[in-house]
Structure 1
């Protein structure tokens, strides 16, 4: 090799070595870059069975919860509390249950179907007498339902619809239940009762104040005195068979938050004492 070519080789050698070293470091660092990449977060689908009277308020809360917990998708099953209770007893996959009466939650708790230490009282409500908005009947209080002019009274089926159960208590304590029974038109949920009155297929109906509030097609005649019926309380609990108990508790805690309670109050609910 000539002296000039030899000198050029030795001048280029360090550059070549630096390039080879850089390539080696880049290749060796690639696995670390791959392992540090964020994993894809899967959506948790939560099943919530809730009393029919809660539907409008809970659906209004969806955007707030979704914004705070984007990986938790809440799927609702709204129906009469007794119906939901039976579904859970028969093995339905439910993460969280909200009843419109303690007795349905008590039944599940007695069968160890509730996750320990997750039960709490969420809300309270009141019971009202409603008539169609265009009614010509001069009904002003519950005792007037005995009037022969009142032919049909819509009431939730007492064994499965808590509002119906509370209504029977009111009529019993007023001493007018036997006179009213022949007039009853039973509904399978409190919203079904409301629809029956709205359509004019009943002269009057017994619903929650929260249901009457969302309807422009009924008029609230009077509110049942609290001492005429069992306190209307909505208990909430995570189910023992919940597929996502942690997410269910997150949602349960959200419903008791100040922000959620403010929304519930807008729909006529009160915090449970």
Structure 2
């Protein structure tokens, strides 16, 4: 009987300490706090997604740190105590995966978006393609830093594919991240810039001029994953699973994203 009790206690201890993301059936009975590092392009939609998730999981609280995907990935690389990471592209998630800094089985794509060329609301602009930018209609075009901001990376890819990156380079103004791009357009400090469709529908101060041909750039996908630094893989995996749910998809679509 004593041996049986020792084995039973040991099994319970191992189960409670498991970091396997597939152990999502293990439900914590204590308050859990998770830190999520997320691309700034999700700053409008994630609060609603998290609120709905926390209503279903009242013992879990999620705090979000928004920023350019590249900077967030580098912070995780340097040991930031992050449980979950949502990137605005695959490149930065790949970097962390190559360094074994995310739980491979937890990685999932849960949303997509559309790159658009947009300007300050109320301006009368009648162009419909990247090629028309060569007409010199815009003196200042803002885009995110291609090195760290995915929306800037996609914009650069599209412009390079259209052979416009060099010809228009004198017109470019670089912003730290997507949020700053939107702010510049809203304020009228620039003539136009590259944002996502989801940004246009979140403000009445920005209008889409034309959608960018999606074949000119990599697919705009939003991957999420659990970091290997996280000490709570089970509850982190609950959130990953929720991102793929019908409830989350409805919220994402309301904010201009598409379900993966």
Q: Normalising by the residue count of structure 1, what TM-score does the alignment of the two structures yield?
A: 0.82
Structure 2, unmatched stretches of 5+, are 1-28
Give, in angstroms, the shift of residue 208 of structure 1.
0.8
The match for 2:135 among 147, 160, 164 is 147
Give, in angstroms, the shift of residue 254 of structure 1.
1.0
Task: Indicate the structure with greater helix content.
Answer: 1
1:222 corresponds in structure 2 to 210
Q: Normalising by the residue count of structure 2, what TM-score does the alignment of the two structures yield?
A: 0.86
2:246 corresponds in structure 1 to 258
1:241 corresponds in structure 2 to 229
2:98 corresponds in structure 1 to 110
RMSD (Å), alpha carbons: 1.2
Q: Is the 8 A contact 1:128 1:207 kept in 2?
A: yes
Alignment of 1:151-230 (within 5 A): 151-230=139-218
Give, in angstroms, the shift of residue 136 of structure 1.
4.1
Alignment of 1:29-48 (within 5 A): 42-48=30-36
Q: Residue 95 in 1 paired to residue 62 in 2? A: no
**Residue range with higher mean Cα deviation, 58-67 or 244-253:** 58-67
2:7 corresponds in structure 1 to none
Give, in angstroms, the shift of residue 139 of structure 1.
3.5
Q: Is the 8 A contact 2:89 2:220 kept in 1?
A: yes
The match for 1:70 among 38, 58, 77 is 58
For the residues of structure 1 that align with 2:151 and 2:182, how far apart are their CA atoms?
Answer: 11
Structure 1, unmatched stretches of 5+, are 1-40
1:133 corresponds in structure 2 to 121
For the residues of structure 2 that align with 1:116 and 1:166, how far apart are their CA atoms?
Answer: 25
- Runs of 4+ in structure 1 off by over 4 angstroms are none
- Measured against aligned partners, the alpha-carbon deviations of 1:193-221 in whole angstroms (never above 9, x if no partner) come to 01101100110100011111111001101
Q: Is the 8 A contact 1:121 1:236 kept in 2?
A: yes
For the residues of structure 2 that align with 1:94 and 1:42, how far apart are their CA atoms?
Answer: 19
Q: Is the 8 A contact 2:125 2:209 kept in 1?
A: no
For the residues of structure 2 that align with 1:226 and 1:140, how far apart are their CA atoms?
Answer: 14
Q: Is the 8 A contact 2:126 2:209 kept in 1?
A: no
- Measured against aligned partners, the alpha-carbon deviations of 1:37-77 in whole angstroms (never above 9, x if no partner) come to xxxx5421100011111111110123321211111000001
Give, in angstroms, the shift of residue 140 of structure 1.
3.1
For the residues of structure 1 that align with 2:63 and 2:39, how far apart are their CA atoms?
Answer: 14
Give, in angstroms, the shift of residue 244 of structure 1.
1.6
1:49 corresponds in structure 2 to 37
For the residues of structure 2 that align with 1:250 and 1:122, how far apart are their CA atoms?
Answer: 14
Q: Is the 8 A contact 1:135 1:203 kept in 2?
A: no
For the residues of structure 2 that align with 1:149 and 1:223, how far apart are their CA atoms?
Answer: 17
For the residues of structure 1 that align with 2:83 and 2:91, how far apart are their CA atoms?
Answer: 19
For the residues of structure 2 that align with 1:163 and 1:116, how far apart are their CA atoms?
Answer: 25
